[in-house]
Structure formats: C-alpha cells, structure tokens
Amino acid sequence: MNRTYISGGMIYDGTGGDPFFGDIVINGGKIEEVLPHRTDRFTGTEGPLIHAEGLAVTPGFVDVHRHCDFAALTDPDFGHLERKQGITTVLAGNCGMSPAPSDGSSRAAMYRFLEPCLGKPPADGSFPDFASYLNALHAKKLPLHMGAMVGTGAVRIAVKGFGQSSFSEKELDTACGLLGEAFEQGAQAVSAGIMYVPECFNTREEWYAFCREAAKHDKLLTIHIRGEGDGLIPSVQEVIDFARKTGVRINISHFKSVGLANWKKDIYDAVSLIEKSGLDITADVYPYDGGSTILGSLIPPVLSAEYGERLSSALGTPEGVKALKKALKEKWEGWDDMLSAVGSGRILISSLEREENQWMIGRTLEEVVKDGGFDSEAEAIAALMYAEEGKVGIIVLSMCSEDVDYVISLPFTSVISDALYGGGSHPHPRLYGAFPKIIEEYVCRRKLLTLQEAVHKMSGKPAQRFQLEKRGLLREGYYADLLLFKPEEVKTRASYVNPCVEAEGIKMIFTEGRLQRE
C-alpha cells in the first residue's frame, strides 16, 4: 500500500473537540494513524510527505442536502465546484424528491416536476427502483462520495401519480413496500417534502405509516416541513407528533422562519418545542437569508389538486388565470403564501428555459410584472408556468440574518447548502459557496462559531446523524477525506448579484486518500 504522510498541521478532527498539532498517516484510502505532532516522526523517505505547518487539517465537508441527483449523472464536471468548497461527501434525494422509485405511467411527469430542482434527467434515465439509480451512480466513478435518500414524494407519485385522493389500503401497503425495498437496496435515509404537491395531500395516518417503515429499518426521516412561515409552529408540532407516535428519528430540513411578520419571534418558539419534546429531532440550516425553490410553490395546492398534471397547461387559459387570481386572494390553512409573506419584490427568477424569457433571470417578480406588461403577479406566474411547462426556479429572500445566526448556533443543527441544479445563469449562491461562507463569515469575520464548532457542523455531526459509515471524522480506520487550508484565506465569492463564482482557499483536498487538487 502507498502511504501519504501529513506532518505538523492543526488538526480539527470533526468531533468539535479542541484542535491539536498532529500528524496523519493515510494508507489505502483510509486513515491509518492520527498522532500528536513530533518533528522527527517522518523523514520523507517513507513516502509522499506533506508539511502542514500553519494549516488547518479537517475532515472533508459533508453536505447532506444537495439536489444533485441528475447532475451527478449528466454533468461531466460534476464534483469540481463541490470540491472547490471542500465538499467530499454529498447526499441527494432531499425534500421528497428522488429519481427513484418511479413508474412508467408517471415517470415523465415526475421528472418534469423535478427538473427545476434536480436539472434534466439523463436521456436514457429511467429508474424503476432504487437499485437502478444507485447502480448508475456507482458506474460514474464520481470524484467524491455520494449517497442518496428515497423520497416519499417519488414513492407517492409511483403509486398514485399526482392525484390528491388518499391511499387505499392496498396502495399504502405498496408505498410502504417501495420504501422498505429502497432501504434494502441502499437508500441512506428517507426524505419528505410535506409542503409540495402531491405530498401535501397525505393524511396524518399515511405519514404515520411511512414513519413506522423508516423506524423499522432504523432510517432517519428528514423533512421539508409543511410550513416555514405563518405555519411554522403547527408544522413543527406535526413532526414532533410523527416522532412521538412512531419512534422515527427526524431531521428538519433547512430549518428557518420565513415571512417578514414572523422574523425574530417564531423560530424561538419552534426551538423551544423541539427541545422540550425530549425526542430525537435535529435540524440543518444554510447560511443565507434567501431560499431557493420552484415557481409552483407560490400556487395554492387547491389548484394542483384541481388540475393535477395539467396545471401548467391550464394556467395558459383565461379560466386558469382567473382561478389562480381567485386562489391567491384567499387564505389556505396549512399552506404558506410566500407571495403575501415577503412580497413580489423579494422573489427573484433564477432559472428559465425559453429564449424569449431569459431577460427575466435575476429580476424580481415585481420587475417582471412591471416590465413584462402583466396586470398582476398572478398573471405573470400563470404565463411563466404555461410557457415554461412549470420548470421555473426562484429565489425567495424570506429570512432575516438574526434568525439564521440563531439557528446556525444551535447545538442540534448541521450546515447544508440545499443547492439546486436546475440550470439557468442565476442560481442561488449557496450552490457555489455555502461551506466557505461559514468559515469566512461565521468563524473568521464575525466569530459566531469557533473553527472546531464549524467543522463539526460541516463534517462529523451530519455524517453521524445520517449514518454515513466511517465519514466525517479524522480517526483511525475512517476514510481519508481531508482538507488542508488556512482559515483566513477561505473565501466565498458567490453572491446574489454574481452567484456563479467558485470559492477560494482550500489548498488540498483528499477523497479516500487521493489528492484531488492543490
């Protein structure tokens, strides 16, 4: 075996404990030894020797919320921008959105629905079960480690399509069977997107059934909760109920409080509910005051229920536009109306396909209404949904920095990117810079976290929570996923104005013992 030796770095081992000067021996893709530093330990004749004096040595970062399901299969450069920001492990299949399982009768519609988040599927891609998707990933020989979760949204669509009716007893058995099969075939965890169609139509009893299936297989359930604005508190109460009734372990995805009226208050009550529950509930968070999603999330689910897969085409008719205008004037229990909560001036168009609509990218919905000659936000939304067949990405500037800081500082949260791969020239900057932003802003500039705390939240903590075996720590027997850098040199260059800029400052990155970049 070829050994690599790292000498004299400041080791942050991913546990959150105090750093120490140390030496590391890498052998056969794994860490063979982690030792206190000794100047005479290595002579340089044993094998490649890296002098790490003045550098932090950390585990590679673990991003458990990245919507790269299709990009990993279709982008020949996949892994480059991830490695630039220190990411060595990713998990896809978040928010209930996974490419598998799928059924031939609804697969094309599901992949169109997923495209604003996951990007275009491979031309030959049809993944009837989870094994077929994982086999496709393994065949790509990716430059980083990638796992995937099974989405309850994909399961529902495979069984029922996009309809709103409840599962029959037979359908629910089939759905739970698909979940169990995915776990047996290698799904790392299960994700849910309760906010999204068609999962928003699941009954409480149906959610219990899914939760019990996850608990039976000892799999974490990570949830995009039903409401993050006015509905935050009842939505947190809902997932607490899931955990209490079924014993499932839960992680709340991109935990936040959105909507101007909810800033600096609701998040504290939500955290109190979680802490007082005494249940096994954690959360993750990205370090931005804006989120990224699909334009269809601004449309009340009642219209999705009425039109189903025909929603986009229906919005191209006068009747459809009229129905949307009417629905947006009403208040719907259990649904967050982001348009009312933040206003059209805080919603940016981030991805579109049609050439004649490209001028809208990077513009606010308010500007699109004005400059596009629309008479209302509803008319603009309807026109875009129709013209783009629903495949429109948006960025919603919905949070305040104080709430984001508070959630990042909580002991039960990990850091994620929630990066979308829907294309377009104006993605959310978290695609390029979420993890470097933590080091640059939260550690070095504002000193809200120590480096050991930040590294823990970006490596050991998420790896342990999602049961990523032998990942996330600098420990003997673990995979040799390592970073070397000077903290003060790590920079995120991506911004809302100029998002497609790669991060800087990671000097060396090892994935399973292989030096990927210097």
pLDDT per residue, tens digit, the chain (518 aa), is 589 999 999 999 999 999 999 999 999 999 999 999 988 888 777 788 999 999 999 999 999 999 999 999 999 999 999 999 999 999 999 999 999 999 999 999 999 999 989 999 999 889 999 999 999 999 999 999 999 999 999 999 999 999 889 999 999 999 999 999 999 999 999 999 999 989 999 999 999 999 999 999 999 999 999 999 999 999 999 999 999 999 999 999 999 999 999 999 999 999 999 999 999 999 999 999 999 889 999 999 889 878 877 899 999 999 999 999 999 998 888 788 899 999 999 999 988 889 999 999 989 999 999 999 999 999 999 999 999 999 899 999 999 999 999 999 999 999 999 999 988 778 999 999 999 999 999 999 999 999 999 999 999 999 999 999 999 999 999 999 999 999 999 999 999 888 999 999 999 999 999 998 64
Q: What's the residue count for the chain? A: 518
Are 224 and 134 in the same domain? yes
Are 319 and 450 in the same domain? no
Of the residues 396, 414, 438, the one at which a domain ends: 396
pLDDT at 331: 85
* Within a domain: 471: no
* Within a domain: 15: yes
User: Which amino acid would we find at residue 31?
Assistant: I
Are 284 and 349 in the same domain? no
Instruction: Report residue 204 as tokens.
Output: 């409480």
Of the residues 351, 373, 396, the one at which a domain ends: 396
Are 87 and 121 in the same domain? yes
Are 54 and 100 in the same domain? no
pLDDT at 482: 98
pLDDT at 509: 98
pLDDT at 518: 45
pLDDT at 425: 78
Residue ranges making up the domain that contains 178: 61-289+399-466+477-490+498-507
What DSSP line would sit under 22-33, residue for residue? EEEEEETTEEEE
Instruction: Report residue 449 as tokens.
Output: 């976290």
* Within a domain: 453: yes
* Within a domain: 472: no
What DSSP line would sit under 109-161, residue for residue? HHHHHHHHHH-PPPTT---SSHHHHHHHHHHH--SSEEEE-EEHHHHHHHHHT
Residues 169 and 173: their CA atoms lie apart, in Å, by: 6
Instruction: Report residue 297 as tokens.
Output: 């999330």
The enclosing domain of 49 has a CATH number of: 2.30.40.10
Are 270 and 152 in the same domain? yes
pLDDT at 517: 62
* Within a domain: 356: yes
Are 407 and 389 in the same domain? no
Are 353 and 379 in the same domain? yes
Under 8 Å between Cβ of 20 and 11: yes
Q: Which residues, 6+ apart, have CB-to-CB distance to 453 below 8 Å?
A: 16
pLDDT at 128: 97
Q: Which residues, 6+ apart, have CB-to-CB distance to 85 below 8 Å?
A: 61, 432, 433, 434, 435, 436, 492, 502, 503, 506
Are 164 and 259 in the same domain? yes
The enclosing domain of 265 has a CATH number of: 3.20.20.140
CA–chain centroid gap for 185, Å, is 22
Q: Total domain count for the chain?
A: 3
Are 301 and 285 in the same domain? no
Of the residues 349, 366, 396, the one at which a domain ends: 396
pLDDT at 401: 95
Are 235 and 104 in the same domain? yes
Are 147 and 16 in the same domain? no
